[in-house]
Structure 1
């Protein structure tokens, strides 16, 4: 049977760390996310959003006035315009977005 040799913790891991021989270098940090919330302030996207919001407000006003026939016509048109405006604004945003 062989004799096992024991090591103390202080021999393996000294309590006082040795000073580093090299100075830490400065480095530039870059963001991994190439997206800024300020990019949504594009005038074209704000214009499209303002037009759609204006039509929705006009529709609510006409509904309060009791002009239901005109509101139904607006609703039929908006069923087509809202998805087209949304997807065209989304396509425009990604097409003009500079990475």
Structure 2
């Protein structure tokens, strides 16, 4: 369960979410809107790619 690839992908997504929250607190709403539009596409693609990778490399 502690596969470095999965942890790296999760860390990147978590980092982007934290950056989005920081920008929201700073009041840069237009940039946050652009981030949310990009993340609306990237998050599902990343999730399903990581899920496929996990099951492809998981030893049953």
Common topology (TM > 0.5):
yes
2:54 paired residue number = 93
Name stretches of at least 5 consecutive residues in structure 2 with no aligned partner. none
| TM-score, length of structure 1 as denominator length | 0.60
| TM-score, length of structure 2 as denominator length | 0.98
Query: Which structure has more helix as a fraction of its residues?
Result: 2
Tell me the C-alpha RMSD between the 2 structures: 0.4
1:53 to 11, 14, 20: 14
1:60 shift after superposition = 0.2
Name stretches of at least 5 consecutive residues in structure 1 with no aligned partner. 1-39
1:45 shift after superposition = 0.1
2:39 paired residue number = 78
1:69 to 30, 33, 48: 30
